[in-house]
Chain A
Amino acid sequence: MTVKRLADNQDINFKFDNKDLKFLNSLLENYPKDKKQSAVVPSLFYAQRKAGGWLPEKAILAVSDFLDMPKIRVLEIATFYSMFNLQPSGDHFVQVCGTTPCWLRGAENIKKACKDYIGQEREVSKDGLCWIEVECLGACVNAPMIQINDDYYEDLDYESTVKILKDIKNKKNIIKGSQIGRKSSEPLERD
């Protein structure tokens, strides 16, 4: 965990268009009418997706406008939750689970693979790759694992991680889920 700040480079256009507003308004229906601020987390998440995986200041202001919330309150939310990125996170955002089960099964090697192949944590490479270590992603049975954008890649080791990253760079098709061919989290045969 580090102190989260808005990115230095805010050079991005961000505005909710009619399609966005239609979706955001549909979010509001999930909450009582006078409590529309409840929609702040899904709204920010939507904004993050729209802006390409991170929240520029304009997105925070747009959400605060949309929900009639003081901007500091939206900033509080955006800095509180670790799944909101305030820094650009590239086209392929790699989240490496480093919590105990994954760590016991070799998450350090996965981190090394990312470091070797992508670079320093939180830095976006030329290929649009960026990685960070995160807390448990809830796939401990298939540890160690990483999440790239919306998909999980499980049962990894150093080599398979590098292969995935290379395949992403070369725009090859990658199998999602387990990398050792097991189906979901069925039991492994012991050697």
Chain B
Amino acid sequence: MVNIKIDDKDYEVEDGLAIIQACEIAGVEVPRFCYHEKLSIAGNCRMCLVDVEDSRGLSPKPVASCAMQVSEGLKIYTKSERVKNAQEGALEFLLMNHPLDCPICDQGGECDLQDQSMAFGYGSSRFDGDKRAVESKDMGPFIKTEMTRCIHCTRCVRFSSEISGNDEIGSIGRGHDMEITTYLNQAVESELSGNVIDLCPVGALTSKPYAFSARPWELNKTETIDIMDAMGSNIRIDSKGLRVMRVLPRLNEDINEEWITDKTRFFWDGLNNQRIDKPYKRVDGILKPTSWKSALELAKEKISNSKSEKISALSGDLVDIESIYALKKLMKNIGSDNFDCRQDGSRISGPPERWLFNSTFNGIEDSDGCLIIGSDIRKEAPLLNSRLLRKSRDDEYKIGVIGFNNDLTFDFNFLGENPSIVEDILIENNNFCNDLLSMKKPLMILGQGALIGKDAQNFQNICIELAYKFNFINNDWNGFNVLHSAASRAGAMSIGFFPSGKGMITEEIISNYNNNKLDLLYLLGADELNLEKNDDCFVIYQGHHGDIGAQIADLVFPAAAFCEQNGLYMNTEGRVQESIRSTFPLGEAKENWEIIYLLTKEMSIDIGFSSLNELRNQLIEEFPIIDPYREFEPLPSPKKDEFNKLNGHQFKRIINSYWQTNSIARASSNLSKRNNYIKEENNR
């Protein structure tokens, strides 16, 4: 700790901080454009100039506070006449070539340059020459560019090399002719590219899908969480009236830091397309609108006419914990154990430490090596990939990959495609073993793709054995991680929405469905199943999009999407967070839990709750792990179990098309444009 003075007040701050960070902690505002906490320091905007005084006296000229560290006894002046002059000068130079097009600029109202000109600017300009104009660049379907506005802070350039890792954006030319661009106007390929829109302090990079649609002060802002992947990124949904206009990240150092994926950022237009806004029932092979009353009556009739062991339910990837819990209670009441949440066929089961990300995302920072098994981590959790990228900058940090040899933006040792390599490592018959042995706190990341098929449990046991052998698990470290890609999976698993002992798993439900052995199938937002219509089985689909699930349904209940209702979600670490309603359910749609509640009421079943609050209390009482207000604690290490030699176990790719992994994403034209962009680029 060092003692410093900021504007004549004493502060004690950590050693090694930049002056600008110390000022931040002290609550003194220093204007900046190029400095960003998560990026390396560039020091090129000169906006953060301050005066410093040490034992040798006042600095001869103002210094850039982002590029100088605090030291003992340093006196910092942020508001002196000279600093004010310097900042006004810097701004005047920046504004020299910046167009006065704020009224037609999308950044207006949330523009750093606008705000800081108001707060620190000179008020008028002495420049009467010609302003420079720069060609706008094509950066693909997400990023709109207006390069004349660019002030060359190079935040986007640093982001593309340090966070997204693709090195796609750069600055060409020099001096007056410097331009920010991608290589020859190619579209950016990164899954995190949208973050440069937030990073850009001016309106040079703005959101293409959101262009000219709203001003920031007109929007209702809801702080909620994202369910496009299982990381549970914290987001803010901005809505206007009944429409979601855009999605922005929120700061959460434990989960997403301050980034979100492009899928999260741009899925919102999918909420307006292909929506189910009223109940439908199938009449003569065609789905026709009906009323809630007749829909519920039909469901009751079909359920009571079916044999309980021939009724089964599957839950999808976007469903909140409460409604899965309600469905589980309904199924138990009917007397059926045939329910499953693992619609991709994954065979995870057992206590939570066997299927959660035990080290937590922050644990990655402490780790000193990584072994990725059967996971295409860049597609399954791009933000996690970015954290690994940061670690991989250290040459000592070794990353081994078994399974899929894809471009992960960093270098790794590809050990092979075959799951049996894990067995080789276990008997130390692999080149990577030496690296593993030298690690003190390695991470093991098991993808869902590694846990599909009959031998999955056995395979997981081998991995746990391996974890104990190579320090993945020891007394003060638990680096055994299972990565999910479906937002609702961990939550559904933790309330036991999978058959234990009796009851059918997804695979059996599907084969029974195809072999006409099923009377009734209840799909709670389950779309990723690839089923054909089968007239012998009555299918009830409850969901918000007319997607694959609704196509085979005989009865469709319109439900709210995740941002139209409150609901709990557990992320892949086991962290429980609440998704908050930002807009209202569309048309006659109802909240997910309420639909199941109404169905039980229709069937005269006493399910024990009649409001979301009652449901949640009951749920938390039965499963304390779901309590969102509980302190987030690490789980115990998974126990060793018996295992046999692998027998034809194969890895399966669970994400084939990153931009189309769920029903909302498939309905989004933003994301499908991006998807087609990749195809066009590949064809070229």
Contacts and interface: CB of A to CB of B under 8 A. Distances in A.
A34 B395 CA distance: 10
Contacts of B183: 70-72, 75
A4 B173 CA distance: 6
Interface in A66-111: 70-73, 75-76, 79-80
Contacts of A75: 170, 172, 183-184
Q: Among the interface residues B161, B167, B181, B183, which one has the most CB atoms of the partner chain A within 10 A?
A: B183
A188 interface: no
Contact of B184 (A1, A6, A34, A80): A6
B103 interface: no
A1 B179 CA distance: 14
A2 interface: yes
Nearest to A79: B172
Interface of B is mostly: mixed
Contacts of A80: 172-174
B220 interface: no
Contacts of B179: 3
A35 B174 CA distance: 24
B160 to A, nearest CB: 8
Contacts, number: 43
Contact of B172 (A1, A57, A70, A76): A76
A57 B184 CA distance: 10
A76 B170 contact: yes
Given A3-B179, A34-B395, A72-B182, A79 B169 contact: no
Interface string B378-406: 00000000000000000100000000000
Nearest to B181: A72
A85 to B, nearest CB: 14
Contacts of A71: 183
Interface string A43-83: 00000000000000100000000000011110110011000
Contact of A72 (B170, B173, B176): B170
A73 B158 CA distance: 12
Given A71-B183, A75-B172, A4 B167 contact: no
Nearest to B183: A72
Given A72-B169, A76-B171, A2 B177 contact: yes
A1 B177 CA distance: 8
Nearest to A69: B167
Contacts of B173: 3-4, 79-80
B547 interface: no
B168 interface: yes
B150 to A, nearest CB: 14
A70 B168 contact: yes
B123 interface: no
Interface string B159-198: 0010000111111111111010111100000000000000
A1 B176 contact: yes
A139 B661 CA distance: 65
Nearest to B171: A76
Interface residues of A, number: 15
Contacts of B167: 70, 72-73
B175 A1 contact: yes
Q: Among the interface residues A3, A72, A75, A79, which one has the most CB atoms of the partner chain B within 10 A?
A: A72
Nearest to B160: A72
B458 to A, nearest CB: 40
A34 B396 CA distance: 13
A34 B411 CA distance: 14
Nearest to B176: A1
Interface string A26-50: 0000000010000000000000000
Interface in B351-397: 395
Contacts of B171: 76
A71 B160 CA distance: 13
Given A34-B395, A72-B183, A75-B183, A4 B170 contact: no
Contacts of B176: 1
A18 B341 CA distance: 58
Nearest to A68: B411
Nearest to B135: A3
Nearest to A60: B183
Q: Among the interface residues B168, B174, B181, which one has the most CB atoms of the partner chain A within 10 A?
A: B174
A79 B176 CA distance: 13
A79 B172 CA distance: 6
Contacts of A34: 395
Contacts of A1: 174-177
Nearest to B182: A72
Contacts of A57: 184
Contacts of B172: 4, 75-76, 79-80
Q: Among the interface residues B175, B177, B182, which one has the most CB atoms of the partner chain A within 10 A?
A: B177
B435 to A, nearest CB: 18
Nearest to A34: B395
B174 to A, nearest CB: 5
A120 to B, nearest CB: 20
A71 B170 CA distance: 10
B621 to A, nearest CB: 54
Nearest to A2: B177
Contacts of B181: 72
Interface of A: 1-4, 6, 34, 57, 70-73, 75-76, 79-80
Q: Which 10 pairs, one residue from A and one from B, show the smallest C-beta to C-beta distance?
A: A70-B167, A72-B170, A79-B172, A72-B183, A76-B170, A3-B177, A80-B174, A71-B183, A79-B173, A76-B172
Given A4-B173, A72-B167, A72-B168, 15 more contacts: A1-B174, A1-B176, A3-B179, A4-B172, A57-B184, A70-B161, A71-B183, A72-B170, A72-B182, A75-B172, A75-B183, A76-B170, A76-B171, A76-B172, A79-B174
27 contacts: A1-B174, A1-B175, A2-B177, A3-B173, A3-B179, A4-B173, A4-B177, A34-B395, A57-B184, A70-B166, A70-B168, A70-B183, A71-B183, A72-B167, A72-B169, A72-B170, A72-B183, A73-B167, A75-B172, A75-B183, A76-B170, A79-B172, A79-B173, A79-B174, A80-B172, A80-B173, A80-B174
